[in-house]
Structures are given as structure tokens and as C-alpha cells.
Amino acid sequence: MRRTVRQSGLLAAIVLVAGAAATVNAEMGGSDGDSGAGMVGPEITERELVYTRSMEIDGVQIAYREAGVENQDPGEPVIVLLHGFPTSSHMFRDFIPELADEYRVIAPDYPGYGLSDAPDAEEFEYTFDNIAGIVEELLEREGAERWVLYLQDYGAPVGFRLALEHPERVAGLIIQNGNAYEEGLPDSFWGPWREFWQNPEDEASIQYLASLLTLDSTKWQFLHGTREPESISPDNWLVVQPLLERPGNAHVQLELAFDYGSNPPRYPAWQAYLREHQPPTIITWGKNDEIFPASGALPYLRDLPDAELHLLDTGHFALEEDGELIASLVKRWLAREVVPVSQNDTAESESSHTR
């Protein structure tokens, strides 16, 4: 499914280089049989284009990135990348092309994030139920009937809502620092959140949560726990921070922070879904994350004993440091665990229709 550059000028250049290499080889005593085939090298491939699109849903413009539409084979699911706080589909900017040479990929920006509209919190219901409904509507309009869901941070409660609503559409889960267990919410980070859920008027909790919207906090989320902090692109906080500082956005983030308290009571239902449906799952987890530490990754194996688990020596945004590794692991897993099953399901469905 890779598209190869076949321009005549490039081919002519390759032929010239190969011919020159053959001449050098002959002068050095090489045989004619060795000279040409080994010197041309690998094919030159195009990098998949990633398109930024938008659609209006319930009066709100929802932006999303999409790639690999022409590479989706019949029966293959769409890979749906669900971002975390405080970023957007921007966190997948390098990951999408890694997958899109073989699969169709969609990465939405939630309302209040990225390039999507950020309506005033007094006029829009910032809840995970509402966000999941908007993502579902986007996927429906895009004709994405089956999904492999990438769950990271806030993307986990969005994705698990989609999975419980439509378990038949979930072809697999990619879980990256996305929590579904009480063990994954340590008091060292989540204590003030719990206090806020109990008392949303508590001034100390509000001040703490407001501190998470500062530039220093944003940089900390991207840098903490990484092996090489200087390798993390500052583009991350240069993109994220101005969006966080939009007028009224602090209120938006407080609304979602409060609604995050609706997630832990749902953990038993999410875990029951995993046990009952056993979706193919790969877990690639930054083990140095203080927000969602590795203690939240290990419990998945209780409910998904066949899940593939990788604890990576990095932080919360593992794609920043280990994106190529994660892409390689995910593509291998998709080819082994997800695509063959999806193609078999399609073949069986087509067979039943012809009987």
C-alpha cells in the first residue's frame, strides 16, 4: 500500500548512480553479477499527506487531522487517535504519517482544544459525555464504522464511553497513559482533584488546578520523566500555551477538571467491558509519568490477560520521545492481532450475504 515516487527524472538519476557504481565495482575487481542490484538501495517512498479538516457539529466547528484514506482496505478499521490534556491532535503530528502509509487515521480536536471552537463554558456543556458524543458524530459522518481507539490521558474517558456505547465497533485498543483503574490515580497528583470533585467551590483546589494552566506546568508535563529533556520539541508548549490562554479557557478547563470526577465511578463498568469483550489491546506506557504512573498500566492485565504491555522509559507524552518505537510496535500488533480478524469478519459477512 506504500506509494512509490516513480518520476522519470529520479529514475534516470538512479540509473546513472547505479551505472557509476558498477564501473567503480568493476575497476576494484568486483563481478558483473554483484555490481548493479546491491548498489541501488531501498525504494524512495513518499511521506503520507496529513490533512487538517473541520465540520460543524451541534453548532461547534470541530477540527480533525486525517490521513491514509486511500490506504484503507475493505474490512480494516479506522485508527482513531484521542488526545489528552492540555494538547490536541498536535500530539499526533509525527505519529499519524507513521501509520497512514497502511491505515486510515483520524485525530479530532475536542471542543476547547486545538483548532476546534472553544465556546464559552456558560453556553456549552464541557463534559466527557458530550465530547464522546461529538467524536462519535464525527466518525459517523466520516463513514468510520469500526475503530481502533488510541487512549491517552483525557482520551481514555472519551474512548471508553465510545466503547461501551458501541462495543461491536471496537476492533482494538491502543492504551498510552490512559487510566481505567483506581490504582492509577495516586494522591500525590490527584489528591487536590478529589477535593475539587467533592467541593468545587474550594478555593485552594481551584488555585491548584489553575496552576496547571501555566506555561511552567505545560512544559513540566512534556518534559518530566523523559530521558533527554532537551530532545523534546519546544513547539509543544509554543502551540499549546496560547490556546490554553484564550479568553474564557480557564473556565473551560475547570469544567472538564470537575467532570473528570465522573470517570472513577465508571471504572468498574469499563473493566467489565474489557473482561467481557476482550478487545485486542496493546499498552505502550511512559513509566515515569507522575500523572498516570505505571501502577495504572499493570491492572489492565487482570482484565486483558492477552494484552501486549510495554513500559517505556519516558514520561506522560511518550510519543515525543518514543514515537517511532511506539509506531513500530503498534503496526506489528495491528498486522498480527487486528487486521486479520477484521478481514475475516468482512469475508464472513460478505459470504453470508451471498447465500
End-to-end CA distance of the chain: 31
Marked catalytic residue, from 166, 251, 277, 316: 316
3-state SS of the chain is CCCECCCHHHHHHHHHHHHHHHHHHHHCCCCHHHHCCCCCCCCCECCCCCEEEEEEECCEEEEEEEECHHHCCCCCCEEEEECCCCCCHHHHCCHHHHHHCCCCEEEECCCCCCCCCCCCCCCCCCCHHHHHHHHHHHHHHCCCCCEEEEECCCHHHHHHHHHHHCHHHEEEEEECCCCCCHHHCCHHHHHHHHHHHHCCCCHHHHHHHHHCCCHHHHHHHHHCCCCCHHHCCCHHHHHHHHHHCCCCHHHHHHHHHHHHHHCHHHHHHHHHHHHHHCCCEEEEEECCCCCCCHHHCCCHHHHCCCCEEEEECCCCCHHHHHHHHHHHHHHHHHHHHHHHHHHHHHHHHHHHHHC
Q: Judge whether 154 and 110 are in contact, CB under 8 Å.
A: yes
Tell me phi and psi for residue 19, to 5 degrees: -65, -40
- Which residues sit opposite 55 in a β-bridge? 62
Does residue 166 carry a catalytic annotation? Answer: no
| Catalytic center residues | 316
